Amino acid sequence: MSPPGSQHKNKMALNSIHWFRKGLRLHDNPALREAVQGASTVRCVYFLDPWFAGSSNVGVNRWRFLLQCLEDLDASLRKLNSRLFVIRGQPANVFPRLFKEWKISRLTFEYDSEPFGKERDAAIKKLAMEAGVEVIVKISHTLYDLDKIIELNGGQPPLTYKRFQTLISRLDPPEMPVEMLTDTLMGHCVTPVLEDHGDKYGVPSLEELGFDTEGLPSAVWPGGETEALTRIERHLERKAWVANFERPRMNANSLLASPTGLSPYLRFGCLSCRLFYFKLTDLYRKVKKNSSPPLSLYGQLLWREFFYTAATNNPRFDKMEGNPICVRIPWDKNPEALAKWAEAKTGFPWIDAIMTQLRQEGWIHHLARHAVACFLTRGDLWISWEEGMKVFEELLLDADWSVNAGSWMWLSCSSFFQQFFHCYCPVGFGRRTDPNGDFIRRYLPVLRGFPAKFIYDPWNAPESVQAAAKCIIGVHYPKPMVHHAEASRLNIERMKQIYQQLSRYRGLGLLASVPSTHGNGNGGMMAFSPGEQHLGTNSSHTPGVSGSPVPTGNGSGSILLNFDSEEQTGPSGVGQQHQRLQQHGYHSVPDTSQNTSSRLYHEFAVPQHPGLLLHPRGGITGKRERESEREGSGEEEPASCSVHKMQRQSAEAT
């Protein structure tokens, strides 16, 4: 399937160029197949701008992964008596020369749905047309033609996963992956290669790109199609998971890089999303005796598809200002606090261990991403999601423009999701996931000597314990940079006022998630870490949000979220509920709307965003949408839309 605007000529192409960008693979590469079809020669090119390598916001791990992908691609092409041509320079500057020098008559490449990519490709198409070169573009980085989804939705991208599901259910299934390029398919098509090819067109080293590799640890995630295809087979060997339709239980080992992880390979296109989709489908049908798999089986794939669709026609998708789907929140500008977060110096071991893993390895578990994103934005530091997105763009191997920006907007409650009164606890969430603290000891060896009791909050350890651990807090490891309970309470009030202000412009239906708070403050909104829930249980000790906020107590008007595991009535029930939450590491945000809220209203309320597009079913609906594995995972529950279904039922590609 080719997007509108692709140009085709009737004359036979003799000399072809296939332009690699993403899609760094030979399997399921329809544009590459078009390049060799009927051609006398084919040259596969990849553009690498050395200046960009030294100045862009991309870290060494991401560059290493990319270079390994290119080396693997070149090795695979060699087996077909071909080579990869790594071109130094900008495509718009170099292509006109290549068209003439190589006498090119056909150019093929994979469709890029991102706004910048579409603008770049339009310019290259124009250059090709002027040179008499046929251009063939094929969609293969996404499962669907995103323009068709938007067209089906009346010209606007769907902003809830439920709507997205409805739309794709009306489309034909994704196209089957095409056959891998082989000697047979190459036929008589050859690649002219000169003796100095390695010097002129070889894959550069990190050192050549200006990176200092001294002390750089070996890659935890080796790049390339070969590794990706090995991993997908390991991934699909977990037949029990597919048969039972559940993910592995969340535990300390889940936080470590897995040999079956796939997300960086999907991001760089070393692995075809369509191949993954249909392999999952086939395996499910074998295990389930030909029954049709639910859409949620393809969790991570549809997650990325959803964000790609939301971003494709929005060049401001990665910005707050001028972004029609993003709430304009008056975040603080605090470079010092941002640096402490990015450099793992917050004084919260759980947060610092995650950020250390990210910087060292280029990957963190999706729930760890939730924790550090919440901490930076609406949870503790009140710093813009744009700043966190930039750090992830630098360090995260699978950082993808659309998915990265969309995830940060979602987790900061700037779009897609408005349950702002749920907050990850930077102590309790990690302790619940890894009670012994092995993850912290692995990435923060300075804290290795602390007993499990204090490893998540070492500042509470007696001086004798700190001395025995050979780590004095404030000397060898920083004190907490913020008081979490106070900061989260203030930030929830900030968010509450922002969303209440928006609701005045957009209608009350926008924010069912904003509880009306009155009374004497005995109740209040609950701010807690959903990660504190028991794994795979629905017991009375599992606080699970369900239904709309309901009044409890003795008629004082105090508001509590209704926990469906054990209905509480009366003042005693309220007290027991608070006590249980304290035991699980949650904290309560008391209702101070009569004082703090009125003060914050004038300080933090935002003006109406004229282009704001928020779905009208914001907040807690009456339906409990949680499965046992999600209860153990610690994910927030964005009831304002069904996007979270996709996250919790992910194919665990990460």
Same domain, 137 and 238: no
* 480 and 340 housed in the same domain: yes
Is 385 annotated in a binding site? The answer is no
- 365 with 255, same domain: the answer is no
540 class by beta-carbon count within 10 Å (0-12 exposed, 13-18 middle, 19+ buried): exposed
301 labeled binding residue = yes
Give yes or no: residues 127 and 244 share one domain. no
| Pairing relationship of beta strands 525-527 and 587-589 according to DSSP bridges | antiparallel
Specify the 3-state DSSP secondary structure of 299.
Answer: helix
Query: Structure tokens of 144?
Result: 């669907």
282 annotated among ligand-binding-site residues: no
Q: How far apart are the C-alpha atoms of 582 and 467, rounded to whole Å?
A: 29
End residue of a domain, out of 141, 168, 188: 141
Residue 640, domain member (yes or no) = no
In a shared domain, residues 294 and 353? no
- Note the pLDDT of residue 146: 98
Q: Is 302 annotated as a binding residue?
A: yes
Over the chain (654 residues), the average pLDDT of each successive run of 10 is 47 83 98 97 92 70 97 98 96 97 98 97 98 98 98 96 93 97 93 95 94 93 98 82 59 89 96 96 82 76 95 97 95 98 99 98 95 97 98 96 96 84 91 96 98 98 98 98 96 92 58 35 30 28 25 25 24 36 38 34 27 27 31 35 34 37
CA–CA dist 367, 93 (Å, integer): 43
Q: Does residue 309 contact residue 151 with C-beta atoms inside 8 Å? A: no
pLDDT at residue 238, rounded to an integer: 72
Structure tokens, 220 = 């935890």
Name the helix (H) or strand (E) containing 173: none
- In sign, the C-alpha dihedral spanning 257, 261, 264, 267 is negative
Q: Is 607 exposed, middle or buried (0-12, 13-18, 19+ CB in 10 A)?
A: exposed
Residue 573 located in a structural domain? no
SS (H, E, C) 376-418: HHHHCCCECHHHHHHHHHHHCCCCCHHHHHHHHHHHCCCCCCC
Separation between Cα atoms, residue 56 and residue 59, nearest integer Å: 8
Q: Is 127 annotated as a binding residue?
A: no
- Domain tally, the chain: 3
70 marked as binding residue: no
For residue 357, being part of any structural domain is answered with: yes
pLDDT at position 240: 56
CA atoms of 545 and 649, how far apart (whole Å)? 19
82 inside domain: yes
523 φ/ψ angles, rounded to the nearest 5 degrees: -100, -110
209 belongs to a structural domain: no
Both structure tokens of 398: 């699978």
Q: What are phi and psi of 17, to 5 degrees?
A: -120, 130
Buried-exposed string 72-81: b where 16+ CB fall within 10 A, e elsewhere: bbbebbeebe
| 339/477 same-domain check | yes
Does residue 469 lie within any of the structural domains? yes
Q: Tell me the β-bridge partners of 302.
A: none
CATH number at residue 403: 1.10.579.10
- Name the token pair of 637: 């529950």
pLDDT for the residue 297: 77
- Name the token pair of 464: 């004798």
344 and 280 in a common domain: no
Amino acid at 378: R
Beta strands in 132-196 (DSSP E): 134-138
Q: What is the pLDDT, as a whole number, of residue 513?
A: 35
| 147 annotated ligand binder | no
Among 438, 473, 489, where does a domain finish? 489
Q: What is the CATH number of the domain that holds 29?
A: 3.40.50.620
Residue 300 labeled ligand binder: yes
**Same domain assignment for residues 372 and 475:** yes
Asked, for residue 298, whether it belongs to a domain, the answer is yes
The reply to whether 608 sits in an annotated binding site is no
Residues 436 and 476 occupy one common structural domain: yes
Query: Which of the listed residues 106, 141, 176 is the one where a domain comes to its end?
Result: 141
3 state DSSP class of 47: strand
Domain membership of residue 414 (yes or no) is: yes
Judge if 359 and 479 occupy the same domain. yes
**Do 356 and 468 share a structural domain?**
yes
- In this structure, the strands spanning 84-88 and 41-48 are parallel
Say which residue the tokens 């979220």 belong to.
Answer: 561
429 touches 634 (CB < 8 A): yes
Retrieve residue 171's tokens.
Answer: 């489309």
pLDDT reported for residue 531 = 30
Range of the domain at 72: 11-141
297 and 373 share a domain?
A: no
Q: Is 237 annotated among the ligand-binding residues? A: no
Sheet holding 15-20, edge to edge: 84-88, 41-48, 15-20, 106-110, 134-138
128 is in an annotated binding site: no
